[in-house]
Structure 1
Amino acid sequence: MLDVVTLGAWLEFAIRWLHVITAIAWIGSSFYFIALDLGLHRDRTLPSGADGEEWQVHGGGFYHIQKYMVAPDNMPGDLTWFKWESYATWLSGVALLAVVYYWGAEFYLIDPAVMDISVPVAIGISAASLAVGWLIYDVLCKSPLKNNATLLMVVLFVVLVAISFGYAQVFTGRAALLHVGAVTATIMTANVFLVIIPNQKVVVADLIAGRRPEPEYGRIAKLRSTHNNYLTLPVIFLMLSNHYPLSFATDNNWIIASLVFLMGVTIRHFFNSMHARKGRPWWTWGLSALIFAAIMWLSTAPMHGADPEGEAMNGAATQFASAEGFDEVQNIVLGRCSMCHTAEPGWPGLHWAPKGVHLDTPARIAGQARAIYLQAGLSHAMPPANLSWMEEEERESIIAWYNSATGG
């Protein structure tokens, strides 16, 4: 019979799978339409009155695509709206945030060495910050800055840097970078839900009623769509960052997050210029490489964490450290796992602990109880290929210890 932890792990896997699928759909359609719009031939006089056209070939067929700045003479009744990809991506992302970081707040969200706060407070800060981030962004986009797209982008970048720094002062390094991505993704989806789609619906309603739509609706939607285009690549990096400690487990993680936004701009500028037939600015790749080199250099700074001898335990860690069988499990982990999961791994070829997980003190072992249970107790994921020869009896001891602590 599956226990709660196992069910939770599979629930996380299912939601993550859904999140990746919907994100692929959203990003794919977004990039396609950006490339299509930039690549339209607008130097042709078209009988239909369209603003531009392009011929494309795919899947053995040819497609003739035309774009109307306002609308064709006869409004079609079967318009396809590209919005559900965005909504589904955000909703599945929030579900994943809840399952991983809210449900496991004491393991993944809160680091007493950064800020000693309770689980409800941490979750409250997390949820509220997503809404506040959108409100700040929306106010800036409606301010006089909207008339200067470049200056607006610079101000928004400064805001994102401040957000990155702020998260790093509250949450674990892993959660900080994840939340920078989450607040950015919230801005992107809110752009679609609260601005782009409503504006398009106003235009459609005006056309159906025989009124001339205000051009301002299209201009505003275009500005928000452009922002989404440049924010996409940084969001992907930040979503993946929680799997790579070199990005989140350093004192410079907020600077790394900030630089990622610059790198997203330089990469997208290359492709946008290419699709618009304005040449291929190869210098953007050189600049991107320099930014990435700076990120790699910053990642070598000391990782977050208190001194092992004086490390304090949070509530969950204390629960596992005081549970029956902890002394035995501690000896098992120190003998089978800590040669790799320590500040200076003793395994040949390893220069840092896999995934940044250290299992060389009682506090750290207790703090990783759930991961140890899932990966070395219930499954044989760790040690990899059982290189340290963990016995079945030892795995059973890990399971017994975890169940003793959780009442399972």
Structure 2
Amino acid sequence: MYDYAVLWEWVLIAARWTHVITAVAWIGSSFYFIALDLGLRKTESLPPLAHGEEWQVHGGGFYHITKYLVAPDFLPEHLTWFKWESYATWLSGFALLVLFYYLGAELFLIDPTVMDLEVGQAIVISLCSLALGWMVYDGLCRSPIGRHPTALMLVLFGVLVAMAWGYTQVFSGRAALLHLGAFTATIMSGNVFLTIMPNQRIVVADLKAGRRPDPKYGEIAKQRSLHNNYLTLPVIFLMLSNHYPLIFATQWNWLIASLVFLMGVTIRHWFNTRHARKGNPHWTWAATAVIFLLIAWLSTAPMRASAPEDEAALTGSAARFARAEGFQDVADIVMGRCSMCHAAEPGWDGLHWPPKNVQLETPAQIAHEARRIYLQAGISHAMPPGNLSFMEPGERAAIVRWYRSVAG
């Protein structure tokens, strides 16, 4: 029978897999429709009220697509709505936020060296920040500045930079960048749920009632869709950032996150320009490379170590693991088999930082990472990689006994 830690790990795997699947579906449809919209052509054969058409070939067949800015004179019985991809992506992403960062707040969300928060306080700040992000963004889009696309994008970039810095002053580096991604993804899903879909429903209702829909609803939806298009790549980067300490655990992590949004703009500008048949702005790739190199340079700043360094810093479950029977034996095993890599200054050739920013040089650090050690080196043989440090089966069994003596 599986123990709790293994079952919980599979819950996390299922949640993450669901999130990836739904995100791929949403991003795919979003990129496709932006490319389609930019590639539309006006021809003499267009039907009345049509804005443009596009011929495409895929899967052995040809597709003839026509776009109406308002709507045709008739509405077909079958109308496909693209919304569930967005909703499922946000819901599964929020589930991951709860499972990893709220239920594991002491390990992933809170860093006492940044701000010493209670778990409840940290969760409230997290939730309020996501709601605030949508309200600020939506307010700016509806304000007079919303009628000036370039000015609006500059102001929104300023908001994102401010949030990047703000999150790093409250949460751990890992959680800060993840939250910036969630902050942006909430705006994107809010665009679909609270703006694009309601506007489309108004248009459909007008058509069914025999009224001519106001074209402003389509224009607003197009603006929000374009924003989502430019925000997608930075969100993907931020969601992956928690796997790379050189991104989240450095002094300039907030600036790195901010520059990622600029890379998203330069990359998408090339694709959007190409789809619109307006040339090949290759300078965007040069700009992207320069920004990426700047990010890599910034990442060499000293990393902030968030793991506790002494027993006095341990609280909650970590303290229980440190007091458990067999802990000293496990600490000796881990420091002998793992600390050559998981150290502030790794001794293994080619490693300049501890993998995943996990340090295992002191008993306190080992107690803090109890669950990871159990899953990676006890239950599975993932660590040490390739068993390069020759961890014995008996040592793995000792890790399992120690962990289960506390976790059950």
* TM > 0.5: yes
Q: 1 CA distance for matches of 2:366 and 2:310?
A: 14
1:245-279 per-residue CA deviation (whole Å, 9 max, x = no partner) reads 11101111111110001110111111111000110
After the TM superposition, which of the residue ranges 302-311 and 375-384 deviates more from structure 2? 302-311
Aligned to 1:2: 2
Query: Within 1, Cα distance between the matches of 2:125 and 2:366?
Result: 27
Shift of 1:49: 4.3
In 2, are the aligned partners of 1:19 and 1:89 still within 8 Å (CA)? yes
Q: Is the 8 A contact 1:333 1:359 kept in 2?
A: yes
1:304 aligns to what? Answer: 304
Deviation, 1:355, is 1.6
The corresponding residue for 1:58 is: 58
Matched, 1:76 2:76: yes
Shift of the 306–87 alpha-carbon distance from structure 1 to 2, 3 Å rule, reads: closer
- Equivalent residue number for residue 390 of structure 1: 391
Q: Distance in 2 between matches of 1:401 and 1:348?
A: 31
Aligned position for 2:127: 127
Aligned-partner Cα distance in 1 for 2:306–2:98: 27
Task: Give unpaired runs (5+ residues) of structure 1.
Answer: none
Q: Which residue of 2 aligns with 1:364?
A: 365
- Within a 5 Å distance, the mapping from 1:292-371 to structure 2 comes to 292-305=292-305, 312-371=313-372
Please state how far the C-alpha of 1:306 moved relative to its aligned partner. 6.4
Report the CA distance shift for 1:68/1:329 in structure 2 as closer, same or farther (over 3 A): same
| Aligned equivalents of 1:299, 1:178: Cα separation in 2 | 17
Quote the residue 1:193 is aligned against: 193
Note the alpha carbon deviations across 1:66-122, whole angstroms, 9 max, x for none: 111111121112110000000000111111111111121111111111111111111
Give the distance between the partners of 1:192 and 1:293, measured in 2 at CA: 34
Say yes or no: does 1:231 pair with 2:235: no
1:263–1:80: structure 2 CA closer, same or farther, 3 Å change rule? same
In 1, Cα distance between the equivalents of 2:265 and 2:166?
22
Q: Quick check: 30-39 or 134-143, which moved more?
A: 134-143
For 1:335 and 1:245, the matched residues in 2 are separated by: 23
The 8 Å contact of residues 83 and 197 in structure 1, kept in 2 or not, is answered as yes
Deviation at 1:405, TM superposition (A): 2.6
CA drift at 1:47? 3.7
Runs of 4+ in 1 over 3 A off after TM superposition: 306-311
Aligned equivalent of 1:149: 149
Contact 2:161 2:254 in 1 (8 A): yes
Q: CA deviation at 1:385?
A: 1.2
Structure 1 residue 129: Cα displacement: 1.3
Work out whether residues 177 and 254 of structure 1, in 8 Å CA contact, stay in contact via their aligned partners in 2: yes
Q: CA deviation at 1:309?
A: 5.7
Q: How does 1:194-209 map to 2 (within 5 A)?
A: 194-209=194-209
The one-letter amino acid paired with 1:337 is C
Distance 2:175 2:346 in 1: 25
Question: Which of 119-128 and 375-384 deviates more?
Answer: 119-128
| TM-score (normalised: structure 2) | 0.97
1:130 deviation in Å? Answer: 0.9
Give the secondary-structure state (helix, strand or coil) at the position aligned to 1:54: strand
What CA distance in whole angstroms lies between the structure 1 residues aligned with 2:60 and 2:208?
Answer: 36
Identity, % of aligned positions: 69
1:16 and 1:366 mapped to 2: Cα distance? 26
Question: Which secondary structure state, in structure 2, belongs to the residue aligned with residue 389 of structure 1?
Answer: coil
Q: Report whether the alignment pairs 1:401 with 2:405.
A: no
For the 8 Å contact 1:112–1:314, the answer to whether it is kept is no
8 Å Cα contact 2:172-2:306 kept in structure 1:
no
Structure 2 gaps of 5+ residues are: none
From the superposition, tell whether residues 309 and 69 of structure 1 become closer, same or farther in structure 2 (CA, over 3 Å): closer
Query: For 1:123-156, what per-residue CA distance to the aligned partner results, in whole angstroms no more than 9, with x for missing partners?
Result: 1211221111111111111111111111111111
Residue 203 of structure 1 deviates from its aligned partner by: 0.7
How far residue 304 of structure 1 moved from its aligned partner, in angstroms, is 0.7
Contact 1:44 1:52 in 2 (8 A): no
Q: Look up the equivalent residue of 1:315 and give its one-letter code.
A: G
**Separation in structure 2 between the aligned mates of residue 369 and residue 288 of structure 1, nearest angstrom:** 40
Task: Please name the residue that 2:269 is paired with.
Answer: 269
Partner of 2:182: 182
Calculate the TM-score normalised by the size of structure 1: 0.97
1:271-306 per-position Cα deviation (integer Å, ceiling 9, x unaligned):
111000110100011001111011101111000126
1:179-233 per-residue CA deviation (whole Å, 9 max, x = no partner) reads 0000100110010000000001101111111112112211211111111011000
Q: Is the 8 Å Cα contact of residues 373 and 402 (structure 1) preserved in structure 2?
A: yes
* Matched position secondary structure for 1:51: strand
Instruction: Give the conservation status (yes or no) of the 8 Å contact 1:130–1:182.
Output: yes
| Alpha-carbon distance in structure 1 between the residues aligned to 2:146 and 2:71 | 25
Over 3 Å counting, the alpha-carbon distance change for 1:250 and 1:136 in structure 2 is same
